[in-house]
């Protein structure tokens, strides 16, 4: 894995969230909080031309749920 990642790296983000927030249930994290959590992950860099949207946040949440459930 590279040291940095961005919004389109939804699987990597889900893995990082799962490692960083092991006690949180992804189903109970709203999209505003999810966006802020991602932006605060070490190694996350927002890229010009790739803004976040609801579809990306949904994909991140779904991957995080899958990651959590093994």
Following DSSP, what letter does each residue of 9-58 receive, concatenated? -HHHHHHHHHHH-TT--GGG--HHHHHHHHHTSTTB---TT----HHHHH
Residue 39's pLDDT is 97
Contact between 60 and 13 (Cβ < 8 Å): yes
Domain 10-69 has CATH 3.30.540.10: no
pLDDT in tens, 36-66: 999 999 999 999 988 999 999 999 999 999 9
Residue 1 has pLDDT above 90, yes or no: no
Angle in degrees, 0-180, between the axes of helices 54-69 and 31-39, rounded to the nearest 10: 80
Residue 7, pLDDT score: 97
DSSP 61: H
Alpha carbons 2 and 16: distance in angstroms, whole number: 13
């Amino acid at each position: 894995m590279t040291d940095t990642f961005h919004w389109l790296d939804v699987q990597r983000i889900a893995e990082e969230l799962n490692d960083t927030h092991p006690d949180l249930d992804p189903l109970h994290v709203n999209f505003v909080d999810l966006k802020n959590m991602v932006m605060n992950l070490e190694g996350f860099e927002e890229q010009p031309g790739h803004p976040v949207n609801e579809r990306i946040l949904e994909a991140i949440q779904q991957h995080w749920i899958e990651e959590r459930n093994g």
